[in-house]
Structures are given as C-alpha cells and as structure tokens.
Amino acid sequence: MSERRSDSQDWDWSSPQCRAQLDEIFFRQHDYIQANSPEHQEFWTFFERFQRFKARKEMAGSKNNRGSNKAESHEGKARKKSGGGAVDLGLPKVYDARYKINVSVCSRDVEHGFGSSGHRRHREPSGPGRQEIADCRLALLHFLDFTQKQSFGKVVKLRQEQKNLPIFQYRERIVALVRSHPVVVVAGDTGCGKSTQVPQYLLSSGFSQIACTQPRRIACISLAKRVSFESLNQYGSKVGYQIRFETSRTPATKLLFLTEGLLLRQIQQDVSLAQYQVLIVDEVHERHLHCDFLLGVLRTLLALRPDMRLILMSATINIKLFSSYFSNAPVLQVPGRLFPIQVIYQPVPPEEQASKSEKLDPRPFLRVLQGIDQRYPADERGDLLLFLSGVAEISTVMEACQTYAAHTKRWIVLPLHSTLSLAQQDKVFDIAPPGVRKCIISTNIAETSVTIDGVRFVVDSGKVKEMSFDVKAKMQRLQEFWISRASAEQRKGRAGRTGPGVCYRLYAESDYEAFAPYPVPEIHRVALDSLVLQMKSMGLGDPLFFSFIDPPPSSSIQTAVTYLKEQGALDVHGQLTPIGRLLAQLPVDVVIGKMLVLGSLFSLLEPVLTVAAALSVQSPFLRSAQHNPDCSTARQPLNSDLGDPFTLLNTFNAWVQVKGERGGGSKKWCKRRGLEEQRLYEMVNLRRQFKELLRSHGLLEPEKHSVQLAQDRAQRRKRLTERQRLFQLKREHDLQEGSHRKVLCLEEGLGGEPSSGSDSEGTRSGKKDKDSAGQDMDIQEVKFKLRHNVSELQEAAYISADLSSRQQVLLRLVLCRGLYPQLALPDEHNSTRKDSEQVFHTCNKQGVVIHPTSVFASDPEVLHVPEYESSKFDADKGQSSRHQLLAFVTLLETNKPYLSNCVRVPALQTLLLVANSIDSNADCSRLVVDGWLELNVSDGEAALRALSSALTLRGEWESLLQAQLVHAGPSSTTGLGFTGPKLSRRKLEKLADGLIRFLVYTEVSYSLRRLTALQPQNLYIGPQLNMELSLPQLFPGMSAEPDPVKGGLRVTNYFTYNCLCDFKDLYSECLRIFWSCPHCDLRLPLTPLERMQHEATCRFAEEQLPEDDPDTLKAASSSSLTRLYHCDICDKDLTLTSTEILRHKRQHLP
Amino acid sequence: VISHGVARGAFTCELCELSSPYTFYGQKPPNTRGIVLLEECYGMRDPFNPEKEKFLLLGSKCSVCNKTVCVGTECSLFYTKRFCLPCVREHLDQFPEQIQTELAKKKSPNSRDRWSPEDEL
C-alpha cells in the first residue's frame, strides 16, 4: 500500500489533465460512454463518491485490522460447510464486490496491451499508472452497474404502479371483448387508469394502428408522453400524438392520440379510415359537439369496415345510452380509485344569496376556510379547491379570501380560469410551504380539464356558466345555471384523489336531488353552422335525418342551413357551393374562412392571414393589464381606431419585428404591454396553417424555391447548424420538463405583479420569476425558430404593417364581407351619450354594447357622424355621407350583450357591395337593406350612380371570385397544385382599384336608420298584375324578372328594383330625365333602369379595350412584393419591396 | 447489424412476472463497442436514456435451475454467475458472508428504494 502511495504522489484525481488522460483510455469516441457526454460527467461525480467511500472503508478496515482474522475464520467456516453440500457452485474463494457485476469493459489499455503484467511500462511523469487505470476501471464497472440498477428500478416501479391501477384486473377481459366485438364500452371513474392503460393493453396484445381521440389538445400531448414512457418507448415514436399544429407521428407510430376534430377531418379525407385498425374514443360522456358527431359518423363507418374495432371510454355516466346506440355493445365497468369523501351540505342562507345584479357574497366561502383552520391542524397537509361559475365571481371571492389569508398567514389564494396567463395558471401546481394551504378558486376548468393533486377539500357553489346560442337574436349567451348531479359528483371526486377528503356543497341536499342528472350536451346548446357545413361536405345527406346519438332540435339545424345559405356556402337547394366546399376544409368559423378566401383574391393575403389567425385564438390582451396605466401607455401605439382586428394586426406585426431583432427579448416586450405571448405563438402557427391550406387548395402560388436555391451554400449550412443547435435545445428541454415543482411563497397569492414590491422579499420573488420566465422563453423561442423562418415572417409583417390607406380600405371591405351579416348600427343618439353608454343595434338584437376591451369602447367618437354635417340640413335630419357600421366577430351576452372584435366601415358603400338583399323604390332614393336598414338618399341622381357602380363592381368581383374557386377546385383533388395564375392580374387590380374608389369617393348624403318592428309588414308593394314582362336585358347574361313576393323587378339575386312601397309615384320608373354618361359621350333622356343598363354595357365595352401602357403593366406584374415608392429625400420613384423601402428610409437617418 | 428497433419477443420473469419486450439476447448488446456481458442476457434499449446505444439488461437464466429471472434484487443476484434467489437460499452456505448479510438485510423494508455505494460493496 505504501508503495502505491509513493507511486501516486504526482497523480491528482481532481486535476482535469489527469482525468483527460483516463478519458483517452476509457471514454473514447466509440466507447459506450464518450467524453463530455452527460454520462461522462455523471461518472466523474460518481467516481469522487466512490473514492471517498473506499477511503472510509480502508480506514475502518485498518482500525479493525486485528479483528480481520475473525472474518477470515468465518469464510473458512463457510467453505467448510459448503464442502458438505450436494452441488458445488464453483464460487471464488475470496469475496470481491467486483464479482457482483455482470459487465466487463474493453478499453484502450486492454486493446493495446499496455499496463498488462509482464510488460510493465514506465509511466510518463504525469500519466496514469497501472493502479490508476485499475482504480478507474473498477469505478467504471460499478458505475455501469449502478446505472443499470437505476434504470431497472424505474421499470419495476412503473410496472408496480400499473399493476396497482383498478383497471389492471380487467386487462385480459378487455382484450378478449375487443377481439370478439366490433364495439366495446369501457366505463370507469376518475383514477381507474383507462385512458393510459387500455391503449397499452391493446398494443401489447398485438393490435396496432390504434387511434385514441381526446376532447382536448393538451390531453393528447400529455397522454402520448405518459403512455410512451410507460410502454418504455419514450424516445421512440411507437406512441405519438397529432394536434392542430404539432405531430410526433412517424411511419413507426402504432398508437396515436389525436383530437376528435382532427379524426373527423381525417374521415373527410378518407371515408373508410383505412389507416386505422382500432379507434378509441375517450371521454364520450363529456358530450362535446365533435364527439357526438364523431360517434354518429363512426356508426356508419363500421358498416364499411367490419374489421374495425371501436372502443368507447367514459366515466360511469349514462352508459346505457352509448351501449344501445351501438346495438347493445358490451359494457365493462371498472371501479374508480377514490378515497372516501365526506359530503357536507351548507346551503347559503337567504340573506347571503346574491340577487341577479349584486356581487356574489363571499361569506359562505370564508366560513369554510375558517372551519378548516379550526378543525384541521396546520401540519396536516391538504389544499382547498373552490368551484365558482365565472371570472367575476372568482375575483370577488378571491379578494375576500386574500384579506383572510393576509391575516392568518395560512393560505395562498390562487385563481384558475382560462383567461389567465399560462404562467399564472401553472402556479396552481406549485407546492405550498409547510403549514400553509393552497386555496384554488376555479371555474369548472378544474372539473375535468385540469387535475390538481393534493386537494383534500372541495367547495362546490353548485353553479356553472354555460354558453348557449340564442337562435332568435343570433347571439351567444353565457348564462349561469345549476350544475348537474354528474358535475357535482365530478367536483366532489376532486377531493379524494390523494387521500380521504371533504366536499362542502353550498346548496341543500334537496337542491342536489333536483339537479338534472347530466349536463346538457353541447350539440343542444350551440350554433351548428360548422357542423352542418362539415356534414354537407362529407356527403352525409340531409342533416335533419342524420342519426345522432341525441339529435339536436331540428330548428337549430334549420337555422344553420339558413345561415350557410346567407353566407353563400350553400345554394338555394342546400347544396355546397364552390366556396362552401372550400370553407368546409378550413378549420375555422365560416366568417373567418370567408375572409381568407376573399383576401387571397387581392394582394392582401399577408394581413388577412394575420387577422384571421388573430380572430381565431383567444385575445392576447390580458384582462389584468387593462387597468394598469403603464400597460395602456405601452399599448397605445398598437391601437388602431379602424377597429380591433387592426389593433391585433399591429400588435402581431410589432411582435414579429421584436422577434426578428431581439429574439428572446420579446417576452419582456409582451409583459410590458400586458400581452400573453403564448397567444401570439398560436397566431403565428395558425397563420402558417392557413397559408398552407390556401396553398394546397390552389388559392395561393406555391412557395418560391428559386429564392432558397439562390442562397449560397455557406448560408444554407449556417441555417442547418442553427437548426441542429435548436433541436438539441428542444431535446434538452423535453428531458428536464416537468421534473420538479416550485415551492410557493406566502406573498405569491396576494395578487398583483410580484415585481412591484420594493422590499427584499419583492426582489427575491421577482428574481425567481425572471428565472422561470427565462427558461420558459427559451423553449418557446426555440420552437418558434424551428417552425418559422423569421426573416420571411418579418417580410410579411413589413408588408402588412406598411399598408397604404387605400389598401386599408380594401382590407376593411374584405373583413366586412367575411363577417357579413354580422353588422351593427350605431344608435342615432350616441353622440349625445356618455362614452360608456353607447348603444348599437344588430338585425336581430336591439340595444347591444361594445365590449370594454374594444378600441371603440374607449374611443367612440370615431363612430359618430360629424356634427357639422348632421346639423347642416334642418330639413333632412340625419343626412350625412359619413354614416358608419360596425362589422363584428362575436355577439355574446354575459351581463349585457357585448360586441367584440369590431371594424368600422362606411355604411352605404359597404352595404351596396356586400348585402344579400337590397330593395329600392322607383328612383332608388330609398333603399332597404336586408329588411332592417333603411337608407334615404336626398340626391336620387347620386344614389343611382352609386347603385349602378356597385352592381357593376359586384358583378366583376363575383365572376373573378368564382373563376378563382373553379380554378382552385380541380387542382386540390388531383393534387397537382397550382397550375399557374389563370386570373388576370390586371383585372384584379382594376377591380381592387374600382372598389377602393367606390368606397372612398362615393359622396352621397343619406340618412340611415333601423326599421321598426312594424314597418317591414308594409314594406313591399307585392306582385303587380300589370307588370310588363318583356324587359330589355339589363346586364350581359342577367335577366330582370318580376319578384313574386316583393313585387318590382329582380335585377340581380340581391337587388330588387322598385319593390318598396313609396309615397312617390309608382310610375316614376318611367320618368325619363336627361342624363349624360360619365364613360362615353352619350346624353339622352333615360329611365333609371335604362341608365343602369347603359352604364353596365358601356363599362363592359371599356374593358374590352386593348391593354394600355405596357410599362405600367410590367411594373405591376413583376412582383407582388414590390411596389412604387416615392422617396421625398432623394426625390426619386423607386420600385422596392417593403423591406427595401424600410432599409432605404434608414439610409437617410442621421 | 442488430439494432434495438424490433422487439424479439417478451421477456417475463418467472418469479415476479415482470414483463417487457426485449430487443436482444446474448453477451453483446447491439451497437456497443467495448462492452461484453459476463452472462447471456435479455436486454433492450435503455428506455430512460435519449441515446440509442444505451442498453438496459432485463434478466437472464439462473445458472443452477435455468429459470428465466429478472435482474431485480428481489429475484436474483449475480456473483460470477446468475443465481435466482431460491437457488441462492438453497446454497446459501457456499456464498461469502458479505452476500449472506446482504440477503438478510434485504428482509427489512425500506432498504430497497435507496441506493448507496455501501450497498454495492
């Protein structure tokens, strides 16, 4: 031993050089463990521990040196004994821990033979000697053995957990049932393990190509993650997921978790779903719209695919319904795993019950907190979960609870609802410090979607807010209801997941008995527009006769059909129109889909993509930041008084620029403006999906590969290494994800931003916040960069940020035509009302207000008719050329009916261009639009001119749109893609120009009002017997026929001439007035109809003229990205892209 | 070249019934240079390690009774060869004292989950 010591005098195990020398022996490039890998680092940590342990043991050994004979004698005894045994195992005589390791390592010293006995080489002055190599080898063997034991231990633990699940006993029965029956229902309550285990049972018994649907995207990801981990395939792709923007699916995937909506889309592509052998539909009891529909579709699909296996999984709710829908499919019931829960009914005393207008009284909730504090010692862990109906209720109760918490220091109060930022939502999973309980105040989101462990107490208010659709008012409504018994049980169950619990119900047991047994299925509550559209495109026949598991009221199907007809998605016979077919493919609301299609026609695609994406995700503007003056100031430059979609557009564009310039700095940028960055990430993903969809349907030219080819090789390589680095970062993130939860501090629940604190505690929590934010930002940023080409996005953002005012006019028209008929009229007395009391009317609902988050709520003056105009004529009250309408995305009634996401548009011009029904009197001075808006134009001449231009423009617009759609149609089915632009760019530009001119330069003074309820009855003259039928052709290819209901003449499918009852002479249509054509030299006395006819043919002829100036044409068609820019400083006209313009401008900066 | 790609079957321990698909059997885990096993083993890719080459040994055959057993300390031990615990108990006297005390220690609970280098030597 002493010899060894002297030998190792100059050998230092902790020196990096010494280690590096051993690395060259044991951890070479092709060895099992390579230098600088994570395992390599772990090894050296292990090594230190191992050496310390050995040293300790040696010390202990030398102390007991004299006693060592004892051990030897023991061994001698043992051997003696064994000598008498029947079988000799042939074990070595002296114990060595090394014999316990079943691995050997072939390292460089072994391969090259040095260090072996006989050829004892002289060690280099500082190199490792035989002893060092032996020490390292021994440590390595122990390390390998240790890592094996670690991993194997994990497998054992996993298998044990699986065995402990209630469903494990039913494993074989489930597989047998699925083998012998086409449809099986597995019913089990929370915690029985059905969602994770059933797919695995099927997988391990030989089934493959399994699809398992989930109602929520997040569940797809987490289940795929969990199941791949449990089936020991964490790093393979046997188990995958597919959701709207993300997939981990590969050809090797055998089990796929996907959303119900996505499976429906797949059926749309392939009716027989040949790609799957087994379908599992999970959570069928939740009765989501998609799920109910999916079940109906699958029922018919099973007839086509007798080999297909379908498994329905549900909670033990209404199982009979599902079984009998699939001809009495066998049901397997699995008990849940819940601990006993004590139910305490504590009805709210009458004096504490809030009437409709009042705030919720928090006292009943506070009493529960107090009761818990009195009854249960603080060192007994267990958190509290409170179920309330909505956000307003949550903040009321939260305020009271926080006061109590600040006093007792025993509670951390946390809200939980879907409009919170994700970071805030995530806090409910963090751990309370000892002696403190979490009090989570939640909507019904915690009933099924979010599962929080460690809850011991539940308070159930018994209320829920549910969305319903008011068919009559065409309005969504968020109303408070009593929950169902099934929901009450679900809420109660949340208290018994980790141990016995208590559920306080703030209603009487008799109330509970009176609850409905189940919640109302979504299909009975919501608008069915998208559903009916999808049914039509799947060729499922008349939706009224589709055999739903629980058919919706036929009135709501009819409403949807009518709506789709209004939108132009269905024709009069209820068949899909070309645009309808396309809309059915887009996974968005019909109105948003229309915007996309319309936007692709003009060169407005980039801004329209952004707006459509922005309107399809939750608002990025955090409610909590609304009252923060700093946020408002920072947001100010993003606001647009044109409307909320423009504010969203500005926000997105500014964010993209920040991403491009500062990368990860965008997180801070968002925080200062009170923006939830996650929503912006969603927008950028959705935007890209829209773009791809439009491209695959031939509405967009294919990507220009030439640009990529032109990039030089070095640049490409740079991008490639960058991507590799990003992938590495993402992998590292995935590995450490969800590894540990933070411990909350007592101040955390006290609301407000933690950074606002000035004391040491404040800075501490602020720092913590920054750290976690830093990590979070990294991965989002990485994903963003992996998915998107930032410079391409920047280019797109430049284009849409730099819209000329003319383009903005056109964009508003496109948005409005998309949103039509969702229009609202400002009340005529608004200019005399306070900002907060502005009232609007829609076609079906009077007296709606603008949501406080809208720009028009804070700046309603932009909607008022300028005073100097309206007061100019005393006789013609309300006459102006500046009337405006609001096009809105949603009308939702909560405590009031609110309009959200509004754009303002010029009333007369827009109506003439988009309305489905325009009726006029004889001289067109009075127009009624869609039966509810009346326009009185003082100057009949001007009215006629406007109407005539509108008819022409609409005709052109429609024919170009149809040409685009027809062109799009076949290419999407043959998969050949875009076959080259067939639409004349010149025609499109001319149309765009015409529309813009019409919107901007139509100066007509008119009054605008809503017809009162009685007026429509006496609106029309009705069919006239003495009507002349042989009228001249008004427009090429269009005929005017008497309208059988309204009377007058149907000039186009949206314009009926002279059908309005009028105080003026019925025969004014025959009155000829001298008129000169603005397009040719014609000057003749003509009737209004004759004038329109002439104008139409005159313009038609004008279009046939040979193409004008070839130079301008060339400039216009050269690139959609470049445009003419006049630089005031150089005083030159330049043709540049938007980015180039910006660069050019920067040149001039000092 | 053998890889961990395809499962060759299911490994099941005859004592504790632990079961898992295995991707190789033998003394040479696929794609590993310099590693040789001292017994014929059932193994798979280490499911908890992102690197494809890392393997996990599941079990092997008892050198006495030829039963397939997992490497878990509840079922078997390796001491120059694999022994299932029933066989170890039967021939306990032939094993060195250290192994005997280790086995005796195992009877007490809680010693399973925590690993310390002490257990290893």
Instruction: Place A756 in a pLDDT band, splitting at 50, 70 and 90.
Output: very low
Structural domain includes residue A160:
no
Structural domain includes residue A542:
yes
Q: What's the rounded mean pLDDT across residues A576-597?
A: 88
pLDDT score at A764: 34
Which of A152, A154, A728, A730 best tests the B interface by mutation, with the highest count of B CBs <10 A?
A152
| β-strands A255-259, A239-242 pairing | parallel
The larger pLDDT score, comparing residue A1141 to residue A202, is at A202
Task: Report A:65-84 residues touching B (Cβ under 8 A).
Answer: 71, 74-75, 78, 81-82
Interface contact flag, A53 B118, Cβ < 8 Å: yes
Task: Write out the DSSP string of A36-83.
Answer: TSHHHHHHHHHHHHHHHHHHHHHHHHHHTTTTHHHHHHHHHHHHHHHH
Q: What angle do CA A1140, A1142, A1144 make, to 5 degrees?
A: 70
Tell me if chain A has a CB within 8 Å of the CB of B93. Answer: yes
**Greatest distance between any 2 Cα atoms in chain A:** 134
Is A564 found in the same domain as A446? Answer: no
Q: What's the rounded mean pLDDT across residues A305-317?
A: 93
Q: How far apart are CA A866 and CA A844, in angstroms?
A: 27
Q: How far apart are CA A44 and CA A10, in angstroms?
A: 19
Burial class, A871, CB count within 10 angstroms (exposed 0-12 / middle 13-18 / buried 19+): exposed
User: What's the token pair of residue A724?
Assistant: 């590799």
pLDDT digits (tens, 9 = 90+) for B24-75: 999 999 988 889 999 999 999 999 988 888 999 999 999 999 999 999 999 9
Q: What b/e readout covers A1069-1090, taking b as 16+ CB neighbours within 10 angstroms?
A: beeeeebeeeeeeeeeebbbbb
Q: Which of A304, A334, A364 is the last residue of a domain?
A: A334
Q: Which of A793, A1114, A841, A1060 is nearest to A935 (CA)?
A: A1060
Q: How far apart are CA B54 and CA B43, in angstroms?
A: 10
| β-strands B41-45, B24-26 pairing | antiparallel
Is A474 found in the same domain as A363? Answer: yes
Provide CB contacts within 8 A for A564, sequence distance 6+.
Answer: A529, A532, A533, A536, A570, A580, A590
Interface contact flag, B98 A95, Cβ < 8 Å: yes
Instruction: Place A628 in a pLDDT band, splitting at 50, 70 and 90.
Output: confident
Q: What is the CATH number of the domain that holds A543?
A: 1.10.10.2130
Q: Kindly list the distances between the CA atom of residue B96 and the CA atoms of A73, A78, A80, A95, A1036, in Å, as whole numbers in the listed order.
A: 12, 7, 12, 6, 106
Burial class, A128, CB count within 10 angstroms (exposed 0-12 / middle 13-18 / buried 19+): buried
pLDDT at A874 over 90: no
| % of chain A at pLDDT higher than 70 | 83
pLDDT score at A1111: 44
Q: Examine the predicted complex and report whether its ipTM is higher than 0.85.
A: yes
Interface contact flag, B64 A105, Cβ < 8 Å: no
Q: Which of A123, A172, A174 is nearest to A7 (CA)?
A: A123
Q: What b/e readout covers A717-752, taking b as 16+ CB neighbours within 10 angstroms?
A: eeeeeeeeebeebbeebeeeeeeeeeebbbbbbeee
Q: How far apart are CA A97 and CA A338, in angstroms?
A: 46
Q: Are A660 and A790 in contact (CB under 8 A)?
A: yes
Task: Write out the DSSP string of B30-55.
Answer: TT-BSEEESS-EEEEE-TT-SSTT-E
Q: Which residue has the tokens 């932009």?
A: A862
* Domains contained in chain A, number: 5
pLDDT digits (tens, 9 = 90+) for A337-352: 789 999 999 999 988 8
What phi, psi does A397 have (nearest 5°)? -70, -35
Interface contact flag, B91 A87, Cβ < 8 Å: yes
Is A561 found in the same domain as A484? Answer: no
Structural domain includes residue A69:
no
Q: Which of A678, A173, A652 is nearest to A418 (CA)?
A: A678
Q: How far apart are CA A497 and CA A518, in angstroms?
A: 22
Q: What angle do CA A44, A139, A157 make, to 5 degrees?
A: 85
Neighbours of A473 (CB within 10 A): 17
From chain A, the residues in CB contact with B118 under 8 A are: 53
Nearest-CA distance A86 → chain B (Å) = 9
In the structure, how many helices (H) and strands (E) does chain B have?
Answer: 3, 9
Interface contact flag, B34 A102, Cβ < 8 Å: no
Of A82, A102, A150, the CB nearest to B94: A82
Interface contact flag, A149 B115, Cβ < 8 Å: yes
Q: Which residue has the tokens 């918490």?
A: A405
Q: How far apart are CA A762 and CA A755, in angstroms?
A: 6
Task: Write out the DSSP string of A616-636.
Answer: HS--SB-GGGGG-HHHHHHHG
Residue B79, SS3? Answer: strand
Rg (CA), chain A: 37
Interface contact flag, A103 B37, Cβ < 8 Å: yes
**Greatest distance between any 2 Cα atoms in chain B:** 45
Q: Are A214 and A196 in contact (CB under 8 A)?
A: no
Interface contact flag, B80 A142, Cβ < 8 Å: no
Q: What's the rounded mean pLDDT across residues A452-462?
A: 94
Q: Are A947 and A1006 in contact (CB under 8 A)?
A: no
Closest residue of B to A147, CA-based?
B56
Q: How far apart are CA A1095 and CA A1035, in angstroms?
A: 9
pLDDT digits (tens, 9 = 90+) for A800-833: 777 888 889 999 999 999 999 899 999 988 888 8
Q: Which of A583, A595, A580, A586 is nearest to A813 (CA)?
A: A595
Nearest-CA distance B56 → chain A (Å) = 6
Domains of chain B, by residue range, sit at: 9-87
Structural domain includes residue A357:
yes
pLDDT at A660 over 60: yes
Tell me if chain B has a CB within 8 Å of the CB of A168. Answer: no
Task: Report A:104-123 residues touching B (Cβ under 8 A).
Answer: 104-107
From chain A, the residues in CB contact with B34 under 8 A are: 30-32, 105-107
Tell me the range of A45-54, A87-96, A642-651, A872-881 where mean pLDDT is highest: A642-651
Closest residue of A to B33, CA-based?
A31
Residue A212, SS3? Answer: strand
In the structure, how many helices (H) and strands (E) does chain A have?
Answer: 39, 32
Provide CB contacts within 8 A for A257, sequence distance 6+.
Answer: A212, A213, A214, A219, A220, A221, A223, A224, A227, A239, A240, A241, A242
Nearest-CA distance A345 → chain B (Å) = 42
Q: Are A850 and A844 in contact (CB under 8 A)?
A: no
Out of A10-19, A157-166, A287-296, A814-823, which region has the weakest mean confidence (pLDDT)? A10-19
pLDDT at A1150 over 80: no
Q: Which of A777, A1007, A1009 is nearest to A877 (CA)?
A: A1007
Q: Are A1088 and A943 in contact (CB under 8 A)?
A: no
CB pairs under 8 A between A and B: 142
| Domain range for A530 | 521-576
Nearest-CA distance A725 → chain B (Å) = 16
Q: Considering chain A, what is the average pLDDT of its residues?
A: 83
Instruction: Place A711 in a pLDDT band, splitting at 50, 70 and 90.
Output: low
Q: How far apart are CA A417 and CA A786, in angstroms?
A: 30
Closest residue of B to A106, CA-based?
B34
Is A115 found in the same domain as A125? Answer: yes
Is A383 found in the same domain as A313? Answer: no
Is A538 found in the same domain as A459? Answer: no
Of A57, A91, A159, the CB nearest to B94: A91
Q: How far apart are CA A872 and CA A879, in angstroms?
A: 8
Q: Kindly list the distances between the CA atom of residue A901 and the CA atoms of A155, A168, A642, A818, A1095, in Å, as whole numbers in the listed order.
A: 52, 50, 11, 13, 38
| β-strands A840-842, A475-482 pairing | unpaired
From chain B, the residues in CB contact with A727 under 8 A are: none
User: What's the token pair of residue A350?
Assistant: 């009458």
Out of A16-30, A588-602, A775-789, A965-979, which region has the weakest mean confidence (pLDDT)? A965-979
Q: Are A464 and A488 in contact (CB under 8 A)?
A: no
The larger pLDDT score, comparing residue B110 to residue A333, is at A333
Instruction: Place B92 in a pLDDT band, splitting at 50, 70 and 90.
Output: very high
Which of B94, B99, B115, B116 best tests the A interface by mutation, with the highest count of A CBs <10 A?
B94
pLDDT score at A1117: 38
pLDDT digits (tens, 9 = 90+) for A501-514: 999 999 999 999 99
Is A306 found in the same domain as A172? Answer: yes
User: What's the token pair of residue A99?
Assistant: 């014999």
Q: What angle do CA A592, A593, A595 make, to 5 degrees?
A: 65
Out of A207-221, A465-479, A538-552, A972-986, which region has the weakest mean confidence (pLDDT)? A972-986
Task: Write out the DSSP string of A465-526.
Answer: EEEEEETTTTEEEEEEEE--HHHHHHHHHTTSSSS-EEEEESS-HHHHHHS-SSPPPGGGTS
Which of B91, B92, B100, B118 best tests the A interface by mutation, with the highest count of A CBs <10 A?
B91
Of B46, B49, B96, the CB nearest to A78: B96
Nearest-CA distance A450 → chain B (Å) = 27
Task: Report A:852-881 residues touching B (Cβ under 8 A).
Answer: none
Q: What b/e readout covers A526-547, taking b as 16+ CB neighbours within 10 angstroms?
A: bbbbbbbbbbbbbebeebeebe
Is A212 found in the same domain as A144? Answer: no
Element (H, E) at A885: strand A884-893
The larger pLDDT score, comparing residue A797 to residue A84, is at A797
The larger pLDDT score, comparing residue A1133 to residue A892, is at A892
Q: How far apart are CA A1075 and CA A1083, in angstroms?
A: 5
Which of B4, B12, B22, B33 best tests the A interface by mutation, with the highest count of A CBs <10 A?
B33
Is A221 found in the same domain as A293? Answer: yes
Q: What's the rounded mean pLDDT across residues A299-315?
A: 94
From chain B, the residues in CB contact with A101 under 8 A are: 38, 78
Q: What's the rounded mean pLDDT across residues A2-21?
A: 70
Q: Kindly list the distances between the CA atom of residue A50 and the CA atoms of A10, A53, A142, in Å, as whole numbers in the listed order.
A: 21, 5, 9
pLDDT digits (tens, 9 = 90+) for A914-959: 999 999 888 788 899 998 999 999 887 888 889 889 999 999 999 9
What phi, psi does A1076 have (nearest 5°)? -115, 135
Q: What is the CATH number of the domain that holds A233?
A: 3.40.50.300
Structural domain includes residue A394:
yes
Is A527 found in the same domain as A512? Answer: no
Q: Which residue has the tokens 């740079």?
A: A718
pLDDT score at A1121: 54
